[in-house]
Structure 1
Amino acid sequence: MNRVDVDTAPPLVADLDGTLIRSDTLLECFWKGMGVAPVRTVATALRLFRRRAALKHALAEIARPEPGTIPLDEDVIALLASARQQGRKVHLVSGATRGLVEEIAGLYGPFDGIDGSDRDGNLTAHRKAARLTERFGHRGFDYVGDSVADIPVWQAARKGFVARPRPAFLRLLKLKGLEPAPVGAPWRTRDLLRALRPHQWLKNMLLFLPLIAAHRTDAAGISAVVLGIVAFSALASSIYIVNDLIDLDADRLHESKRNRPFASGRVPIKIGMAASLGLGLLGMALGAVLGGWMMLVLLVYLVSTLSYSMHLKRVRWVDVTMLAGLYTLRVVAGAVAGGVAASGWLFGFIFPVFLSLGCVKRLTELSRARGDGFLPGRRYQPRDRDDLLNVSIISGIASVTVFVAYSLSDTAASLYDPVRALWAVALLLSVWLVRMIWTGWKGQQDYDPIIFAITDRQGVVLVALSAALLLYSGT
């Protein structure tokens, strides 16, 4: 590539948030803060919401992301490298706090100039345009940005570039007489859908258990439970997004979680926040249709999952207990939605099963982890494997014991004939639990035992045989 006249070539100025990096440092600080000091973070955000520069510095003082893990935009990096090869000067000028700009620039430079926001001024929009015009002159620089806030800067620049624009944004820019050159592809809707984890919605089929256990097949009960499943799925997806945003740093250090849509930068954080809010409101609205008790169950689920995401998942043993409790809460929701009085037998069986699977989840993570330290974002280390194995086995035995005791009860005798078919189900259940625990111990599962359970052929056969026996013996 031919070098240009260094004295006449205009410098190329790049933004940081959403441009050099596929993220937003303000939102990174906010969500990191929500994981370590949620009350202080929310209070700070509310107090300084209208003072953006002060807010950025205050949140950065509470918690800062790891600069070396934040995903880069390789297309923008290539554009900057090309400018350097031409002999042009390259500057990094951002609305992010100057300290963060300097840290990131130090990792991915060199840059000929660096600037960022201070406590008194937010270096964005017209303020940034004025700063660059004062330094380089009107039309004396090229600029690569990504958002509406960059419009005044593009208007002052000789040439513009826009990082990963969506078609609607390009149309807006054209209406304003701007046609910056696109750099990179925009985020995709299918990546956002992946962040909702629709495969996890299968867990909400647990809401059907109270109806199945009570041998209820009426249309009213089934339709109410289906609506409850949709409500739980929407609320669960809302919380999955929150969990992913809180775990950005930890996920980026994980073998497979680093590829999640927000950790990898494939979907902007602000899009995730909007989707989470919308799904949360949808879930609660559907709960309201089912009545006050369902609203209460959903509210308990919401508070519990947020508590888990923000703190309890980092408390050893409490985390797996919470996971089991959240699964059990789904059964409660099914009973409330379907108008069924679920028996203590059902809850006594379900809770230890999912406590066992929660331990299997941690066993799998430890078996597949590299090194001897703590799991990213968790308080387990390799020496905990034996304890997790013991708890998973004891919980599995407890669940099978409860099931066998149930088979000997008058309730079971009134619902199943011959009742001894339940003993065969108990045996199949025992084999299934042994397989789940063993594969977790050996690290042969993916990181979610529920997903493994529905994709494992041998396990599916065991569950299908159990279901067939229950249908055969049901009265």
Structure 2
Amino acid sequence: MGDKIDTKPLVLDIDGTFLRTDILFECFWAALGKDPIRALKVSFLNLKQPARLKAELAEIANLRTDLLPVEPEVAQLAEQAKSEGREVILASASHQPLVEQLARDHDLSPRVFASDGQTNLKGDRKAAALVETFGAQGFDYAGNAPVDRAIWSKSDHAIVVGDTASARQIEARGQSLTRIKGGWGMGDVLRSFRPHQWVKNVLLLLPMIAGHAFDMPTLVAALLGIVAFSAAASSIYLVNDLLDLEADRLHVKKKNRPFASGAVPIQTGMLCFVLLSSIALGVAAALSWTFLGVVAFYMAMSLAYSLKLKRMRWIDIAVLASLYTLRVVAGATATGIYISGYLLVFIFPVFLALGCVKRLTELTLATTDERLPGRGYGRPDRPDLLNVAALGVIAALVAFFLYSFTEQAIGLYKTRWLIWVAEIPLAWWLIRMVSLGWHGKQDYDPIVFAMKDKRGIGLILMTLAIMFYAAGLWQTWFGAL
């Protein structure tokens, strides 16, 4: 950069430059998680007053700036400048107390430039403030967006994060320039959809399997239902991750999620939410209005879970079980297949048990007895969770046994006593899942774990094979006697 600028201050923009995130959107989602009604009211009333909006959201959010993800290359430049004895200053349109707090977190200059609740310090306003303090070409400036062009033009050395068009413009006028790649990739955006979670939606096939309806129109309807539910689930996962930013950053594994790590901008996540929701509701409406209602109800319940219910002990597990059960109802609605009430009575306690397994796994792998971030459980709750999981297993097995005496079972299964035999590998699978959760030998999501667990898959396939034989399906398909 040359000796002539060694003593000049290095001024850093924050959003998308020093940080791999945007403080305004961080405040919005943190506020939404703490007080949804007030956050939405403040946002609506102050849309045209950005400085006031930032101040009021910051008050609700109580944001932990020390957890916000930093752009490594910019942080490295800041450390190098500090080692050279230069002042490193934050200049941002974000709310001033948060900017001051961030400067303290990273041992930067206490002198900052920021919005004060009345003036939004952005673009030309920021440029004027810096020139008034340091003079034209009296500072180096790092930014990331076209709005920073007014400031780069007044700086001595320009540092551009990700904004290729602005970098070319700066080069064209012969100004000293440092480029930093920044930005985000589609791979990380796709990862934020959690596509590995889509395997849960195979539950929509359960009514088809239970009703032995293996024709092509039924399969197509079920697969379209899976597409709708996958898009709906991903849209809510986005919301969940945006609401859980602080908790995720405190988690040993979840801190690497796309939004928590800053790999994907919050604004991109919000746009993807709109896109995925539209796909989910559009495909659902194409199938039937009833199925659309089920998908909309699922999304509303999932949103309520993300906003509030997941922080309520025991209620969170009941809601999780209900959301899984709703997938089975959705499968029946999409295909038009009648499902026995016993199937739902069987499914709900199964997922109640697996919900307990999810919390057991998290608590077993926790390193302290403190309550899980964003959850209502601590390690002392493990015995109670184990008891509820055991009750869920027993209730599921009893419902499965009682189903064998229903008219539907009598009509579908020629050799009914084999249904009782099928209960043995099923019971083995359920007990094994609970045991693995108790000993912390699972993934954090038992359903995703189950889809990758070879021994568990073998037990499920054994259960299905016995039931298909009891129904005479093997004989029909393969001509066996």
Q: TM > 0.5 between the two? A: yes
More divergent stretch after superposition (145-154 vs 40-49): 145-154
1:384 and 1:460, CA in 2 relative to 1: closer, same or farther beyond 3 A? same
More divergent stretch after superposition (92-101 vs 405-414): 405-414
- Amino acid aligned to 1:367: T
More divergent stretch after superposition (267-276 vs 349-358): 267-276
Report 1:24-173 matches (<5 A): 24-111=22-109, 113-163=111-161, 165=162, 169-171=163-165
How far apart in 2 are the matches of 1:219 and 1:410?
26
Aligned counterpart, 2:477: none
Aligned counterpart, 1:310: 307
Q: Please say if residues 20 and 73 of structure 1, whose CA atoms lie closer than 8 Å, have aligned partners that are also in contact.
A: yes
Question: Percent of counterpart pairs with the same letter?
Answer: 44
Q: Please say if residues 200 and 447 of structure 2, whose CA atoms lie closer than 8 Å, have aligned partners that are also in contact.
A: yes
**How far is the alpha carbon of 1:84 from its aligned partner?**
2.5
- Amino acid aligned to 1:441: W
The partner residue of 2:219 within 222, 228, 232 is 222
Report 1:315-330 matches (<5 A): 315-330=312-327
**How far is the alpha carbon of 1:120 from its aligned partner?**
0.9
How far apart in 2 are the matches of 1:459 and 1:378?
28
Aligned counterpart, 1:289: 286
Aligned counterpart, 2:21: 23
Q: Please say if residues 167 and 179 of structure 2, whose CA atoms lie closer than 8 Å, have aligned partners that are also in contact.
A: no
Unaligned runs of 5+ in 1: none
3-state SS, counterpart of residue 279 of structure 1: helix
- Amino acid aligned to 2:47: F
Aligned counterpart, 2:272: 275
Aligned counterpart, 1:352: 349
- Amino acid aligned to 2:168: K
Report 1:68-467 matches (<5 A): 68-111=66-109, 113-163=111-161, 165=162, 169-171=163-165, 174=168, 180-467=177-464
**How far is the alpha carbon of 1:172 from its aligned partner?**
5.8
Cα deviation digits, residues 420-464 of structure 1 (max 9, x gap): 221121111110011000010111111110111112221111111
- Amino acid aligned to 1:154: W
Q: Please say if residues 308 and 322 of structure 1, whose CA atoms lie closer than 8 Å, have aligned partners that are also in contact.
A: yes
**How far is the alpha carbon of 1:239 from its aligned partner?**
0.5
Q: Please say if residues 250 and 373 of structure 2, whose CA atoms lie closer than 8 Å, have aligned partners that are also in contact.
A: yes
Cα deviation digits, residues 18-71 of structure 1 (max 9, x gap): 211221111111111111111110111111111110000000111122122111
- Amino acid aligned to 1:30: F
3-state SS, counterpart of residue 181 of structure 1: strand
- Amino acid aligned to 1:465: M
How far apart in 2 are the matches of 1:122 and 1:363?
47
- Amino acid aligned to 1:339: G
Root-mean-square deviation (Å):
1.8
1:122 and 1:425, CA in 2 relative to 1: closer, same or farther beyond 3 A? same
Q: Please say if residues 199 and 451 of structure 2, whose CA atoms lie closer than 8 Å, have aligned partners that are also in contact.
A: no
1:5 and 1:139, CA in 2 relative to 1: closer, same or farther beyond 3 A? closer
How far apart in 2 are the matches of 1:350 and 1:426?
14
Q: Please say if residues 89 and 112 of structure 1, whose CA atoms lie closer than 8 Å, have aligned partners that are also in contact.
A: no
1:112 and 1:394, CA in 2 relative to 1: closer, same or farther beyond 3 A? closer
3-state SS, counterpart of residue 259 of structure 2: coil
**How far is the alpha carbon of 1:85 from its aligned partner?**
3.0
How far apart in 1 are the matches of 2:383 and 2:345?
25
Cα deviation digits, residues 209-230 of structure 1 (max 9, x gap): 1111111122222111111111
| 2:465 maps to 1:468 | yes
3-state SS, counterpart of residue 133 of structure 1: helix
Q: Please say if residues 422 and 469 of structure 1, whose CA atoms lie closer than 8 Å, have aligned partners that are also in contact.
A: yes
TM-score (norm 1): 0.95
Q: Please say if residues 235 and 276 of structure 2, whose CA atoms lie closer than 8 Å, have aligned partners that are also in contact.
A: yes
TM-score (norm 2): 0.94
How far apart in 1 are the matches of 2:66 and 2:9?
26
3-state SS, counterpart of residue 156 of structure 1: coil
How far apart in 2 are the matches of 1:42 and 1:419?
56
- Amino acid aligned to 1:174: R
**How far is the alpha carbon of 1:184 from its aligned partner?**
4.3
3-state SS, counterpart of residue 372 of structure 1: coil
- Amino acid aligned to 2:165: R
Q: Please say if residues 239 and 273 of structure 2, whose CA atoms lie closer than 8 Å, have aligned partners that are also in contact.
A: yes
Aligned residues: 469
**How far is the alpha carbon of 1:408 from its aligned partner?**
2.5
**How far is the alpha carbon of 1:138 from its aligned partner?**
2.2
Q: Please say if residues 422 and 463 of structure 2, whose CA atoms lie closer than 8 Å, have aligned partners that are also in contact.
A: yes
How far apart in 1 are the matches of 2:2 and 2:187?
41
How far apart in 1 are the matches of 2:168 and 2:2?
32
How far apart in 2 are the matches of 1:257 and 1:237?
16
Q: Please say if residues 17 and 25 of structure 1, whose CA atoms lie closer than 8 Å, have aligned partners that are also in contact.
A: yes
Q: Please say if residues 340 and 408 of structure 2, whose CA atoms lie closer than 8 Å, have aligned partners that are also in contact.
A: no
Q: Please say if residues 103 and 110 of structure 2, whose CA atoms lie closer than 8 Å, have aligned partners that are also in contact.
A: no
Cα deviation digits, residues 172-223 of structure 1 (max 9, x gap): 6536857853224432211111111101001011111111111112222211
**How far is the alpha carbon of 1:159 from its aligned partner?**
2.2
How far apart in 2 are the matches of 1:231 and 1:175?
44
Q: Please say if residues 141 and 158 of structure 1, whose CA atoms lie closer than 8 Å, have aligned partners that are also in contact.
A: yes
More divergent stretch after superposition (358-367 vs 133-142): 133-142
1:172 and 1:224, CA in 2 relative to 1: closer, same or farther beyond 3 A? farther
**How far is the alpha carbon of 1:108 from its aligned partner?**
0.4
1:459 and 1:87, CA in 2 relative to 1: closer, same or farther beyond 3 A? same
Aligned counterpart, 2:476: none
Cα deviation digits, residues 241-266 of structure 1 (max 9, x gap): 10001001111111111111111111
How far apart in 2 are the matches of 1:59 and 1:470?
57
